[in-house]
A and B are shown apart, each in its own frame.
Chain A
Amino acid sequence: EAQVTQNPRYLITVTGKKLTVTCSQNMNHEYMSWYRQDPGLGLRQIYYSMNVEVTDKGDVPEGYKVSRKEKRNFPLILESPSPNQTSLYFCASSSRGTAGPASYNEQFFGPGTRLTVL
């Protein structure tokens, strides 16, 4: 089954304790992205990756790191979590589109990771 998986689904941690949220897709997609969802704000992009070893900042990258060593995996790292990073996090992936160099297909989303930082 084609899917995006995230682990863990729920996490409660304390300020300053490093954590990693994993994301994996089995669709051979080039593009992967991390979003955070907060009430009334919709989804905001944290980081994205166009392919292996190619990553870039989104709208709200502060306090986060990512890596893309393999095509299928795109972990999100919080080196020193703070309470303002309490949120619902989504990983997404998509394949490159055929409508030109800047096109891509629709994004597939993982089930989400609810993170609470105390």
Chain B
Amino acid sequence: AQSVTQPDIHITVSEGASLELRCNYSYGATPYLFWYVQSPGQGLQLLLKYFSGDTLVQGIKGFEAEFKRSQSSFNLRKPSVHWSDAAEYFCAVGPDSSYKLIFGSGTRLLVRP
């Protein structure tokens, strides 16, 4: 069955520190991979996506992610976190047979001053 696992429910980092959010997926075919961010009271905003090609993808707000097929992972990274990055982050894979995205359960990022 297709699934996405985000093993960390909460992560707390200090402002200025580096960040890595983990995402592992189970998917039969070549996946399309996405990271979305949800700020409090807001909808989901696409940070970056991987469809094919270079396995290191750059996104908005200084985020990047690396697709590792051998590890079935698509981890999100940022070299220096800002207080405004505090939000919930969702990894997603798709499409499946109903063209939907399969979401992980999310990782809530807290940023210490």
List residues of A whose CB falls within 8 A of some B CB.
Answer: 4, 31, 33, 40-45, 48, 50, 56, 58-59, 90, 99, 102-104, 106-112
Contacts and interface: CB of A to CB of B under 8 A. Distances in A.
A58 B71 CA distance: 29
Contact of B101 (A40, A103, A107): A107
A56 B43 contact: no
Contacts of B45: 109
How big is the B interface, by class? 20 to 34
Interface stretch (B61-69, B79-87, B92-100): B92-100
A102 B99 contact: yes
B34 A48 contact: no
Interface of B: 4, 9, 32, 34, 36, 42-46, 49, 51-52, 90, 95, 98-101, 103-106
What 7 pairs across the A-B complex have the smallest Cβ distances? A42-B103, A109-B44, A45-B100, A111-B43, A109-B43, A43-B103, A42-B105
A48 B95 CA distance: 13
B103 A104 contact: no
A57 B37 CA distance: 26
Given A99-B51, A103-B95, A104-B95, A58 B100 contact: yes
A112 to B, nearest CB: 5
A75 B75 CA distance: 35
B59 to A, nearest CB: 11
Nearest to A102: B95
Nearest to B91: A42
Given A41-B105, A42-B4, A107-B46, 14 more contacts: A31-B99, A42-B105, A43-B90, A43-B101, A44-B103, A48-B99, A56-B98, A90-B43, A102-B99, A103-B32, A103-B95, A106-B49, A109-B36, A112-B42
Nearest to A114: B41
B42 A111 contact: yes
